[in-house]
Structure 1
Amino acid sequence: MRRRRRIVTTPCRPDTRLADRDSAVLAFCSNDYLGLAAEPAIADAIRRGSERWGSGSGASHLVSGHYAPHETLEQRLAAFTGMDDALYFSTGYMANIGVMPALVGRGDAIFADKLNHASLVDGALLSRAELIRYPHCDLQALAARLAASDAPRKLIVTDGVFSMDGDIAPLPELLALAEAHQAWLLVDDAHGFGVLGPQGRGCLAHFGLASPRLIYMGTLGKAAGVSGAFVAGQRDVIDWLLNKARSYIFTTGAPPMLAEGLLTALDLIGQGDERRTHLNALIARFKAGLKLKRWQLLPSDTPIQPLVIGDNHEALAISRALDSEGLWVPAIRPPTVPKGSARLRIVLSAAHSTAQVDRLVDTLTRLETLQA
């Protein structure tokens, strides 16, 4: 159960070197879905940004730490996601623990999917609103809980793409319930932004959704390849968050040079249909090629491909066996996932080749046979 870190000595890429190994490993664990984390154009934009703006912002955004590239980035993110306005946070975790306490409090109710990310759970607890959880993607159970609540303000909270299962939330149905019960719908699209929807505009665009009841959070350290996060929505909602979200108000603004890099990343995401086409082909190839008898590959059409082993010890053993063959696929155990569902969280990237994915498929197939 004890976690440990491994020291990476190369840029983020499939062919990775680690301090505890003499030879390179092929990594299938990074959330760098489009292969932008080591993109030279982004690194060059950050370099030029450091020459123009220096290394730090010097203060919180509301004092003197809000720079021109921050403002431009927020405007671009709002337009890209089809929202009125956006607010740039230093991390996705800070965004989630800031938004919920700013929107609801004592006497209100938050309705949360049981498999939501830990940052959403923590944000709900910090709000002091009643936390009402519903079984994973169970719309009937959620409808019953909404109908039974007399809270004056209701907030439905869900991942867009669930980080450990890789499935996509039923957002059209969730939005219909939000509108029927006069609730907000907060969507954490950490793993959908840049990957799903036309031009990678995210899971709301994937379903063609728009509503004043929607609040959208996207992270910028995964498919965007840099760092940070943003929350987008109606202009008055974003203005409220700017004045009420404690994790935004009471922290030093991110370095403006990162915002310069993110502006380039946003261009590459919008122009990244070729990357997404290649990524989707890899996903289909992996799913079609993996023939299993005991282990279970969960249904997912996203880059997150969870292979459920079940037992903690076996999951760790398989992860170590892969490592010995030069494949880096960490084992995920409880409490990150439910008890009895220890798994390999396999993550594909547009930076992978078909030959690399085939190598993983062949190795997993052989290891399952040896473990039988």
Structure 2
Amino acid sequence: MTKKIVVTGIGATSPLGGTARESWDALLAKESGARSLTHDWIEEYSIPVTFAAEAKVRPHEVLERPVAKRLDPSSQFALISAKEAWADAGEPDVEPERLGVDFATGIGGVWTLLDAWDTLRDRGPRRVLPMTVPMLMPNAASAAVSMHFGARAYARTVASACASSTESIANAYEHLQLGLADVVIAGGTESAIHPITLAAFSSMQALSKRNDSPETASRPYSVDRDGFVMGEGAASLVLETEEHALARGARIYAELAGSGVTADSYHITANDPEGHGARRAVELALHQAGAAPDEVTHINAHATSTPVGDVAEYAALRAVFGERVTEIPVSATKASTGHLLGGTGALEAVFSIYAIAERKAPPTINLTTQDPAIPLSVSPESVALGDGAQLAVSNSFGFGGHNAVVAFRSA
């Protein structure tokens, strides 16, 4: 028998705020998390893109120093968001063997890895920190979260580029359905605003070049969009079976109604221009939710602000929703947050949950002149979602052709 899976806790630390609520409020206020970078390495390495969306609250302001010292920044963000989500869920009383962790990253501990290389090159092997490998490994965030909460059911890691954390949420759904746990902490994290990643993304012409106006650089669906803005941070959900949540009297934000994961098998960086894999991921999520396309009331789009990617996503949505795709309120929240890579899907899941809980689709900033080739219903202001049942889908698509979509239904 299919179980109902519900969201009972949310947490986030993002370019817009140090908590989920602060991030949501700043999103509604049409703030931008992008700003010019002041690090010495920008000038030292002549990085061509001099801005990004760094997390608004730095981890050392939140975590105890002994804890932070043993974690890469990506794991620090993960732990911060997971602790908030756990507290928000009322700190569920669950047996360790019934508590699982599904946590994702796109890149992992890039800061730890490259700092260690600098140390090796400049000071020799004896000065490389003994904790280097445990800090840089992609599963470090999942391990840190599981150890902090004593989760012994399992601790799993997904690394599927920008689809990573949406896929982790999809995996959590499956793991709860399979009975592997009663409660799961799911989410994703990234801290990769580093000289090498900025230089590499710049080299492939993926980043916006608007150094003179960071706040308006990410502009999904605009005719003059020219690339994405790097972001960082993490977001977490506490998911549990409805039976377990009701038994402990938990507040329920929303139902995680379904998910879909597919692969394009098309190109290592480019989307399938017809959006076939993305379309199937949306369809699978709706099928698992037992929902028809005409029940969807809100879409949080992947919408990275790249010239090709935004069009491909529109093609996928048009294939699923037909003419109605021009009527469903769509939000492209990366315009405000930047692109958190492996953490972006979890953050957008948080925004989708808030949207249906508060019946308000958040605004999409920086939409100057909408591309006529993408006639979606995108608004620069918040849009009321109405009083009826709500069903939101949140899309994530990553390098390698990874597609992941989750669907949330109002509680």
User: For the superposition of Structure 1 and Structure 2, which TM-score range results when normalised by the shorter chain?
Assistant: under 0.3
TM-score of the superposed pair, with normalisation by structure 2: 0.25
User: Rg bigger for which structure?
Assistant: 1
TM-score of the superposed pair, with normalisation by structure 1: 0.26
